[in-house]
Amino acid sequence: MGIRNYRKENYACHTSPSHLVIETSGDIIQPKRLTNPVQESPTRRDLHRELLFSHRRGLLLGETPELQRILQQRRLELLPPPPPSDLELELHKRRQRQLEYEQEEVKRKKVQENIPEFVQVKENLRHIHAAVQ
């Protein structure tokens, strides 16, 4: 039993074969609890072994020390923001045009509210008469 075998026996994922049955003195055979076939699968044992190994070494994803995370965050805050991309510029221009259009619509509606109703009806009749001719 070398060092290699000793390490394997200490793994938490190491399970004894399920076909072994514990025999006591006499002819009575004690029933053994059935094992989960998923836990006995070699791929699961390998995965568990790898997770234990990486946990001991601190290689798990997202597991950076708190100090390192804070320093990284401060470094990112000190960097100047990147210049806006072409798409962002176009979206900004489009939004500005949309806001201007909405403001013009609000002004036009206010002007329409100040005009008496009979003048509005007369304008509508002119448009209808011009469209017929």
pTM: 0.35
Alpha carbons 90 and 83: distance in angstroms, whole number: 13
Q: For the segment 17-61, what is each residue's pLDDT rounded down to a tens digit?
A: 545 555 556 788 888 888 887 778 888 889 888 888 877 776 656
Mean pLDDT of the chain: 79
Alpha carbons 97 and 105: distance in angstroms, whole number: 12
Asked if residue 33 lies in contact with residue 15, where contact means CB atoms within 8 angstroms, the answer is no
The pair phi, psi for residue 73, each rounded to 5°, is -65, -40
Alpha carbons 72 and 58: distance in angstroms, whole number: 18
